[in-house]
Chain A
Amino acid sequence: MSDKETILQHLLNQGASRRAFLKFCAVTASTLALPTREAKVLAAVLEQTPRPTVIWLSSQECTGCSESLLRSFEPTVENLILDHLSLDYHNTLQAASGAAAEAAREQAMADAFGNYVLVVDGSITARDYGAWSMIGGRSTFDILKEATAGAGLIISVGTCAAFGGLPKAQPNPSQAAGVGDLMAQGELPQRPLVNISGCPPVPEVITGVIAYFLAFGALPELDELNRPKVYYGKTVHDCCIRLPHFEAGNFAMSFDDEGARQGYCLLLLGCRGPETFNSCSTVRWNQGTSYPMHSGHGCLGCSEPQFWDRVGGFYGGPLANPIAGDGSACEVPVPPPLS
């Protein structure tokens, strides 16, 4: 790591207090379901950790993932941390543009080679020599390939970067793919990879994963799709507020009918909660305000691969793997102790 100021120093220099830092560490440790002793390690290590270099590369994306993470009505501790993670390159947010911006990116990567966090959003295309997605005369595929080589950690933000997302929907004209797909095909170097899927993903999941990696130099336990189990280990159905009505067999038959207003289950209106692994119903959206089923609309399954291509569209078709939840999975699993 370079001799940049630490995360704590930067916060203090921005007018935040040491107490705000402690609060962030406590809240982040809680969302990560860390045991107490590891929560204390998180604060102690982050206090000393230099702000990591973060390179954010966007490919075929709608910018929704960036908006989810970085737009807030009021500053929150999570946004403060993310805003000050030394975001050295983000072609949507940065003030610089053109050759100067690209040169700055290359310099930041060289200075932190092997240690920077590479965040990718948008699906990647290599079709027609990558001509379908170009920045500064280069294909985003080539830029990503170069950036992947020196990354200490790659975070695929959003379902597009994780699994291909909307651009990969049939007929997939650009031959879009996720970062993991390209690694498996040998098109990208193998590097530590975390998928934060969702369209867009829950913002607090991003800061939690980065904080965990910074503090422990390792990733939290991942599922078979490379998603952190602490956030993606349960379906949104398992912790849904409408679960008691599912258990009782009370289903809304149309949007905003009397049943829907009484909190009836939205399964018959297309809700994919029983087969969708995400933290929407626990961490929730908009700084803990609500989530789709809470607000009256079923889950679209946006954190799962190929959710755009499911049979019957968003409002019809059978569930592929319906799971009857009983709420018991709402107990957050305790991560295994670090070795």
Chain B
Amino acid sequence: MNSFDGIAIEVNQKESSHTIPNAAYPILSEIETMLWELAEHNRSNSIDLRRQPLSQTDSSRLREVLGRGEVSATVNCMGTTHIEETGIPGVWWVTHYNDSEDVVAEFIEITEVPEILKAHRKDIPAGVGLLRARVARLSHG
């Protein structure tokens, strides 16, 4: 577990609770543009949150504005990946963790469904064979 909290560092941030923090606003604007491109041109996109100068407050406000949707999923491979649909259709919050549960990458994806959730077309034929083999084992007791 990341133990940054063990160092007592206090950074003063003067922010109004009635306005969107500075770093969150341009990201929201970018999401809107990308969402329009998805709607009009079926073009997916993503924003790498680790490349943005987001404070904890900025991140919280971003989550607050985007809200929670109906879908929450966990992918278990090389650590976990949490995928949450936001309250904005087509906008997903994807967080990749390593085996120590530290965040290694975090994205806002603007897409119908994040790629990592989909079963890949090339894997599905193998799935047919796998299912047949398992059914055959059942049939033979």
Contacts and interface: CB of A to CB of B under 8 A. Distances in A.
Contact of B51 (A20, A27, A80, A331): A331
A22 B47 CA distance: 16
Interface in B99-133: 99-100, 102-105, 107, 115-116, 120, 122-123
Given A242-B9, A263-B7, A290-B3, A76 B53 contact: no
Contacts of B50: 30, 332
B100 A294 contact: no
A251 to B, nearest CB: 14
A18 B123 contact: yes
Interface residues of B, number: 34
Interface of A: 16-20, 22-24, 26-27, 29-31, 33, 36, 39, 74-77, 80, 241-242, 244-245, 261-263, 287-290, 294, 330-332, 334
A132 B116 CA distance: 51
Contacts of B99: 74-76, 287
B96 A289 contact: no
Contacts of B8: 261-263
Given A30-B51, A36-B45, A288-B98, A241 B4 contact: yes
Contacts of A27: 96, 104-105
A27 B3 CA distance: 21
A279 B58 CA distance: 24
Interface of B: 2-4, 7-11, 45-48, 50-51, 53, 75, 77-79, 81, 96, 98-100, 102-105, 107, 115-116, 120, 122-123
The listed residue with most A CB atoms (<10 A of its CB), out of B7, B53, B81, B107, is B7
Contacts of B10: 244
Contact of B77 (A17, A242, A330): A17
